[in-house]
Structure 1
């Protein structure tokens, strides 16, 4: 950790989704270790309870796929930001997301819509409502996407498309806000050692298992990119190589290659 990291951190309030597990939980652990004076608001179904009282953490329980519950939670977030007397910069981390594995025509359409609600609509709603405050005070929108954003992804078609949306949307929004004090960046991790794959009905094996990162690895790279002001970062050297290669390939070649890889990731059992 760099000695001047705390001095270069301009944010006084952080709003995070999905902090109860996985990468989101590692963001909280990072803040507890380095930025204890920062006020944090976490939106997730379950509370992140393992942190010390020194971490200024407020939990808002919410199902982000529920439009009405999401609207009410955002009002609580805005009230949380108004309580910050320093009126310092705001860091919004849109981290919550999930996916389902399988052929689309065999899936439940309601479950597919729920993926879109959490991975896209919740991000849009939260960002849209917080941007007026962030434009006034300054800040950064940090969206957690995936390496699936760089090519079509058979068997996780809806999930991959939502992550492609986040990458494209983040770049476009950052350009629109170029004359303001708000930046937008997108973090694209690959296989990560979290409960995501089991919940999606997927396994991690072969090269994916060999090069899987820990959530802490992802967060460390994300925070380094945040300090650099990068518009996006692919975490992990193997993922950087893979996404560079995928971006060079025509989709008519990339799609069957990705499909063959993903077809072998069906988990034998689910948690």
Structure 2
């Protein structure tokens, strides 16, 4: 694919949450076109895949602000030592928690905000100086949940709405520089997300709906293509794109109500499966 030659311009690629899911698939996709690049993965567990001869794993709990600051200092050294070239930062780490807000663990909800929101802003801000000098792209993984309130996923949807809006605004703040952002909004993805959110079986798989969910490999391929094309926002999957588009044309209260009915049905199906 011709667009993949675009990635030869990067000398350093930094990704959070590359141990599994979309992040791991992005690493694999990048390695096929830039095997010698300096690739830095930030996550608590080390990926099972080989990060390349210039790859490095940074063990870090991104929910911990002190660990983020310490890791960012190490990344700045990596960037300084790297040959001339742009920097690609992919803020991918995140998780959700499914259920009615009064029934959910508050500590988990706050950790979700720390990871999905604070860590994204913190890490990006700390790496901005060398990225502005070298040029590059900041990719922020949001979600189709970012386009409307999400009952039963209230905090998760709100964090992803923040990521989407913040990322798009940051792109405008960076206009006229050598740095830009891309906001990626996947729909339901075949990964560990649903297990971490409390599902025994991914609801889209259980319902047999193959039109909305995508594999992590498909999302990774679409992300790399969007980076190379210079896009600022991409919703992966044509059905997800249609749903978010038409949902944006409806009254917000009505969209919230409809979303609640759909997610409530998933909740009932989940209880029956357990």
Q: In which range does the TM-score fall when normalised by the shorter chain?
A: over 0.9
Change (3 A) 1:111 1:245: same
Distance 1:147 1:25 in 2: 20
Counterpart contact for 1:63–1:69, Cα < 8 Å: yes
What is the CA distance between 1:8 and its match in structure 2? 5.7
What is the CA distance between 1:49 and its match in structure 2? 2.8
Distance 1:258 1:41 in 2: 37
What is the CA distance between 1:145 and its match in structure 2? 0.4
Distance 2:208 2:102 in 1: 28
Change (3 A) 1:98 1:7: closer
Distance 1:5 1:257 in 2: 39
Distance 1:112 1:5 in 2: 38
Give yes or no for the alignment of 1:100 onto 2:91.
Answer: no
Change (3 A) 1:208 1:161: farther
Give yes or no for the alignment of 1:80 onto 2:81.
Answer: no
* Deviating more after overlay: 72-81 vs 183-192: 72-81
Give yes or no for the alignment of 1:233 onto 2:234.
Answer: yes
Change (3 A) 1:41 1:115: same
Q: Deviations over 1:156-198 (max 9, x none)?
A: 0000011111111111111011011000110000011001111
Counterpart contact for 1:191–1:209, Cα < 8 Å: no
Q: Deviations over 1:231-252 (max 9, x none)?
A: 1100011101111111111111
Partner of 1:220: 221
Q: Deviations over 1:28-54 (max 9, x none)?
A: 1001111112111000011013226x4
Counterpart contact for 1:100–1:201, Cα < 8 Å: yes
What is the CA distance between 1:87 and its match in structure 2? 2.8
Distance 2:140 2:272 in 1: 30
- TM-score when normalising by structure 1: 0.94
Partner of 2:120: 123
Unpaired stretches in structure 2, ≥5 consecutive residues: none
Distance 1:192 1:21 in 2: 12
Change (3 A) 1:149 1:208: farther
Matches within 5 A, 1:1-271: 1-2=1-2, 5-7=4-6, 9-51=8-50, 54-84=52-82, 86-202=83-199, 203-205=202-204, 206=207, 208-266=209-267, 267-268=270-271
Q: Counting helix residues as a fraction of each chain, which structure ranks higher?
A: 2
- TM-score when normalising by structure 2: 0.93
Q: Deviations over 1:119-165 (max 9, x none)?
A: 00000111000010111000110000000010100000000011111
